[in-house]
Structure 1
């Protein structure tokens, strides 16, 4: 089984055999295999998380989709999820409509904030896991994945068409994260230090030279209009011009980085391998490293209740302080400015 971005971070993700279906069969939900209810769904491997309004949503192995309406204190499993494949990505267009993607080129959709889901795309023959999903608006969306796999919908997920990211390109690098900056420029973080950029709502993309040769495992937009991409061995690059140029910043670590979030107070949090959590209070220019005592792999982070963050990965979901000093104190290290 091919080891993908999120799989590399957590180290143990494997796809569960999917129903023998193709895209055309996605409308017949009765023929699909459904995720099994599990009391351990919030303690098993989780590979992505996002916000749906005030609701926290996370996805992971065995088709698990979980959500929390109390800031991460308690979690419930989605009632109906028509797949058992490992889900690697989740994206919400608004607080009700969302999509999740995963192995066997699977995409599922919810219209009720994550309570129930339907399968809208499935192509087991492609053997290309979906790694990230982004919607320009309620109708137009892109799902990207391994070996430059891209499928696109322009009717809200009713139909999907396979396409290339860059016209006439034979590139087969893994497309690991698609997202948009504050101004609407769409960026794709990929292998071999590649970032692809679109200024026409995803109709066309061009490759940007970042000056890095390793793999980017993820990326995120910043509220000030900037953007980050991050990946192997603590390499984090920042753009202040909508993704045209990139400069390496101090991540405070040599551990691989796979996910991030900007909190309401402006703190930027990154998450990664070997228990890495990085906090920045200077607009993502430098980060203070906090190493979790469990030293496990994490791939996503969200704001949680009571001045905490929720981190998602190999052990499911865990909570910790949203402040570097408090987080360092919690794991037994003394904090000092600039540390």
Structure 2
């Protein structure tokens, strides 16, 4: 994997860059639609490619390991072939999912024993076998196995957890060196900064991760309930330390405003279930604020869903029609809303990139944040 830093904004820390892998170019900043179980919910791969047009999507090791299982994906020739997606894929290592199973898992130095949310069966994830699983899944970018701490989190727990994440990182790296590629293309490996919302721990972790010398780096353990101001403060601390010539990935973030503010702090890559999950609940994001399409106020509003939208659904369907689909619980409503939201998120990061390249990102960002902080 190669990363080229093209330019930096003079009024902020925003960057425009280009990542090149064996599956193509990723222009940054980028938002990665979440395809947890080998599908971005409610969207055909053809729609994903031709309408939403992301350079990269995300899959999840924990979920793919359980279903359809690693052996099936390997027999198919890897996740790209299994789901018919010829562009880039990143897989999360499953650390966050293990964190979310707090009542059904036990963390030890060796790894994590957890209970499947599907059938109650027990499984063990270690840094070593998670690397092997991600080799077989075959994503272009694979993540270190880490522990994601909750919020709020006791300082001593956060410190112990951070050091264990660092030890797990060393084990991941050592095992990857001994584990050959499964397919005929390369995989890039990203370690993950932890440390909860403690500045000194974040600094220490960022320095450890930077010294690992990986081709890219990630920031984890945020967007888990902490106030946005704390998220931004921790991101700022970490981005000051992570090397400038490597892409920075902020995991699981976030709202459109969160994304713009973190781009301004030097982040290049994002993922979040929010655009798809909120779409299925009738929440639409636009450049002028969010819309709850279930509200009665849209019942007889025959204007387009979003006149400024970039996808076909934005102008082919009206707000009244979309509200009707949600009212009668028609699946098409969720699909339309999902395509709209993903299209908006990709428009947002690409528009941010244009303004970084043009040199006026900071002013544009401030205007957009103000506009989007509305309920329509």
- TM-score normalised by structure 1 residue count: 0.30
Structure with the bigger RCO (C-alpha within 8 Å, sep 6+) is 2
Larger radius of gyration: 2
